[in-house]
Structure formats: structure tokens, C-alpha cells
Amino acid sequence: MVFSIAQILGGLIAPAIAVALLAAIGWKFLRDARWLFGPLIAAAFCAAYLAVEVHIGWPPTANVTYLLFYFTLAAGVLTLIDSLARPPLWLRVIILALLWRIAAGLIILRLIPSSISPAAAELWIDFSTLSAIAWFLIFEHLSQRAPGITAPLFLTILSISCAVFLALGLHIQSSGVLAGDLALVCICAVVLSLLVRRTEFSRGFAQMIVVILQLLLFHGYFYTDDNLSAPQQIRAGLLLAAPLLCLMGDVPAIRHHRSALLRLAVRLLPAMIVLTAISALTAKDFFHAEQATAAEEE
């Protein structure tokens, strides 16, 4: 799949920059502008979706890829409400779990029972719900415990790894591009955090990025045309588990250390090493497969 310059500039780069510019204006003039992130990220993702996919239709269940668009819109609205209403964490987790189960169930509905048994589908929904909750809690905690550059920088690395895994591992180029768009948004957020130091990424930014990435991975895992090998399955598991490594920064000796650079390194480097290895191995397998295919055609 080849994308034009107009698609890349208008559908991917421009919306990501717009998120940062509008958020910067919000943080300049408002005491708390976290509520802007939900609608802005949803709008940027939907713009990228419309640039990458052929069309969008109704109802959402008419095509499984439509669900990515409509679920993101819903997530943007709910994140806006969450940012303004500020419910307690336990209530946010319950709402996320309930809504995620609905979303995951609709995504794999057409695979039941032809490809997945009802019992297996229920297990996958349970597992994906736990994964989504884990990412949500980790990045909300990280955004509050280490404000500033840490959360958007980690999410940048994670989004890039997801993009590589989706495009080169699962061979779903459109989903890889959409994850790449989230990486662009995160890069712009890194710049924003350096320019506007009081920017906060909890209750808005982090949860939107995390939920969309989980949607892309869940959809890609079940709708790839490939039969995933054992190494690919292991990489998928490591990709989901990698954010747990940032919790090393909460070890008391590290958390209370005077060096902010050391705290940042401990939070990011272990996960960065794992994610980089996953991306490198995925790219290596992809290019080896391409070379083998080219050799067979000759």
C-alpha cells in the first residue's frame, strides 16, 4: 500500500501538529486544559483514518474497520467527560472494563463461531480487558508520578513499536500507519511538554493513546491474513508486557533519587530496549520474507 504526499501531510502530519498547537494555546490561557486532549486526539486519529482508509460507512458493524473509527470518536467524548467530571479511579476502571468488553466483543463477533469458539472468544475478551486496564493504570500512574516529558516520550516509543508490529509483523499497513500517526501526536506532545512545562497528560492524553493502540493491536491480531508463528506470538506478548518495566522507576531508591535524568532513564531504558528488540526482529523477519518471495519469483 502506497500513500500519497497529500495523505501523509494532510492526514497524518497536519492533524498531529494541530493537536499540539491547540493544546499549547489551551495550556497558555486555561488553568487546566487536559479536557482538550480527548477530542483533539480523536479528531486527529479520525482524520488519519479518513486519509488512509477508502471510506467510512454506517452502521459501524457493517465493516469491522469502521469500528476503529467510531470507537475512537466514542473514546474522545468519554475522555472529555472524564476530564471534566473527574470521577474516582475505581469508577474509571469499571467503566473502561465494561466499554472495552463491548468493543472487543463487536470486533471479533463475525469470527464466532467460524474461526473462534464462543468460549475462546470470551477468554480473549477477558484477556484483552485486563491488558487494556493494565496499560491504562500504568500510564495514568506514570503521567501523575512523573509529569512532563516521561509519559509522552514513552508513548512515542510504544506507538512506534506498535506501528512496526502492525505493518511488518501482521502485514496490516493501514493500521501500522494509524499507529504511526499516534506516534506523531506523541512526538508533538513531547515538544509541547518542553515548551509548556505545566502541561499534564493524565486524565486525557495518556488514556486516549493507550485505548486506541490497544484497539489497533486487538483488531490486527485477529484480522491479519497471516498465521502467526511462535516467535511472533512471543513478541506480541512482550509488546503488551513492556510497559510494566516503567514501574521500575517506582523502586524507592530510584523514586527518591535527586537525579531527574536517572529516574527518567530507569523508567524508559528497559522498556525501550525490549521494544526496540521487538521492532528490529519484526523488521528482520519481514525483509527476509520479502527477499525469499523475490527469489522465488525469479
pLDDT at 1: 60
User: Sorting pLDDT into bands at 50, 70 and 90, what band is 291?
Assistant: confident
- How does pLDDT run across 13-24, given as a tens digit for each residue? 898 999 999 999
Q: Which amino acid is at 233?
A: Q
User: Sorting pLDDT into bands at 50, 70 and 90, what band is 261?
Assistant: confident
Mean pLDDT computed over 124-149: 93
The span from the CA of 48 to the CA of 177, in Å, is 8
Whether 298 shows a pLDDT value over 70: the answer reads: no
User: Sorting pLDDT into bands at 50, 70 and 90, what band is 61?
Assistant: confident
Hey, where are the domains in the chain? 5-223+261-278
| 3-state per-residue secondary structure call for 157-193 | HHHHHHHHHHHHHCCCHHHHHHHHHHHHHHHHHHHHH
- How does pLDDT run across 215-228, given as a tens digit for each residue? 999 999 999 988 88
Question: Under DSSP, is residue 256 helix (H, G, I), strand (E, B) or coil?
Answer: coil
Whether 262 shows a pLDDT value over 80: the answer reads: yes
- How does pLDDT run across 186-242, given as a tens digit for each residue? 999 999 999 998 899 999 999 999 999 999 999 999 999 888 889 999 999 999 999
- How does pLDDT run across 264-280, given as a tens digit for each residue? 888 899 999 999 999 99
Q: Which amino acid is at 285?
A: D
